[in-house]
Chains A and B, each alone.
Chain A
């Protein structure tokens, strides 16, 4: 393949990564924005979503699409419920102190991961995609009669991958509508702006916190359900999404939702493209160093506006 089609293939793979990453990172960003805590167990909510998707899909009979749709509904709900429970039993009791919350969520990370290992086991298991048509993609080149289309060998994607990108975009629009247009979103934004004032106005801040934490976990689980037909479910799969979400949330500016989406697209695409042309390890080294340096020299993020 020539460079052009190769780049297009890499960008398509990158776009799928970016779509799932945006969902996962927006959950982390929402939690940080409203609650001002960092949830280190976020990657495990992602992993749990994938594992539950496998569990639901393997227990629902019929065509693969039925199991997948059931997983799409059940896994995020269950993970969101668990996240809300973790918030009420643990985070509330450490009074959302930023440092103690990090230590407690590290504990939750190991609990979720190890309980999954004990019950689900160390195997990686696949979920069948509901549809998976292979789509060959055309490319243009200068031929004898000017520009002409041709189908290079190996340049193709699947209908499922395109669906992942579309579904993620739809969910992101949904999150934006929730935050901007509904009463619950209003309560969340009020809590984010001024917790004390929100309390004084009678907003049940603790319930809002539990809800935000639940939605954050559910979004990570949703991203995982979407990716699990492409990538298999495994009990250690939470590490990379956590790291990448951290990177995205920090580059995008802590707690800024539009910034997070922009950074997810940037990081997802560049991760896909860099990994194709260079070593993935080198790409990760550069990305982690970039995050550290952004936090040191530009704590408001690359897309953030002014320091607070």
Chain B
């Protein structure tokens, strides 16, 4: 088999497997997997920036929340239907990521990390400040009637799973196409050696800005879909924790691999799920995982597989 055929077989196989799983999984794991696929789409968005363009953002909750609140506020206060709501979410994420990209990309390295962290913190506080509309920590609850898309009720577990799978498939296939296109190769070149990419005549700033916007829009889309599928739009999703999670998922799964974000989200979700049954201090698992990953496996799970067995993994 050629590498291209292997790549298509592996990624297509995963999507088919996820499709088939909905008929066999018990209700609890069925619901979890739907959630994981939406969160993994968020991680896929994060990976575009961190894994491929080499930009470590500590403020991705801002994009997730921009999509979520763009959708939630339009549906709740604007009386929008789900599709215009999703479009409002995407538009909000696009605007926010463009603004953050234009400002934050003037810095690099640690400066970039702190600037994104601060913007996300300002966004979180802004949501709390406008509590009259956003209802702050309490959040907005979307009613069932507001979550019917073309006559399909998204509150049903079956349709919810299918919608989550659809989102995940679109995100994975989009990044797969991006990575294999010249655009993706340039991003990797910038990650590996920015000066060299600039010497070769690429407009590094524009490529990085595009990466930030693509990453922000995918994350925002995931946020909007999350709000729609699970009927809740809350300030927690804008807090620092939701900026750390995608970093953790991508690091665990493998930065700069198409499947890494999904693998990392799946592992971490169940790890936290299991440990929160034992203790309320479940974030301890996240902390230990972060330290161990930086110390021993900076490549992540899929990254290690690529290094050792399947060198063709994108």
**A residues in contact (CB < 8 Å) with B:** 38, 90, 93-94, 98-100, 102-104, 106-111, 113-115, 117-118, 122, 239, 243, 246, 250, 279, 281-282, 284-285, 288-289, 291-293, 295-297, 299
Task: Give chain B's interface secondary structure class.
Answer: helix
* CB of B96, distance to nearest CB on chain A (Å): 13
In the complex with contacts A289-B118, A295-B115, A296-B115, A93-B295 CB distance below 8 A: yes
How many residue-residue contacts, CB under 8 A, span A and B? 117
B294 touches A292 (CB 8 A): no
A103 touches B247 (CB 8 A): yes
Q: List 6 A-B contacts (CB under 8 A).
A: A38-B113, A104-B295, A106-B287, A111-B291, A115-B281, A299-B107
Pick the contact of B107: A90, A107, A295 (CB < 8 A).
Answer: A295
Question: What residues of A have a CB within 8 angstroms of the CB of B298 in the complex?
Answer: 100
B125 touches A281 (CB 8 A): yes
Apart from A104-B290, A239-B240: 5 A-B pairs, beta carbons within 8 A: A102-B58, A117-B280, A289-B118, A292-B119, A299-B111
Bound complex: CA of A295 vs CA of B104, how far in Å?
9
* CB of A89, distance to nearest CB on chain B (Å): 9
**B residues in contact (CB < 8 Å) with A:** 56, 58, 103-104, 106-107, 109-111, 113-115, 118-119, 121-122, 125-126, 128-129, 240, 244, 247, 251, 279-284, 286-295, 298
Pick the contact of A103: B111, B129, B294 (CB < 8 A).
Answer: B294
- Which A-chain residue is minimally distant from B280 (CB atoms)? A117
A111 touches B287 (CB 8 A): yes
A111 touches B119 (CB 8 A): no
* CB of A221, distance to nearest CB on chain B (Å): 19
Closest 5 CB pairs of A and B: A110-B287, A107-B290, A114-B284, A107-B291, A114-B281
Bound complex: CA of A145 vs CA of B225, how far in Å?
72
In the complex with contacts A90-B291, A109-B287, A285-B281 CB distance below 8 A: no
A94 touches B294 (CB 8 A): yes
- Which B-chain residue is minimally distant from A32 (CB atoms)? B110
Bound complex: CA of A250 vs CA of B298, how far in Å?
29
Pick the contact of B294: A98, A100, A281 (CB < 8 A).
Answer: A100
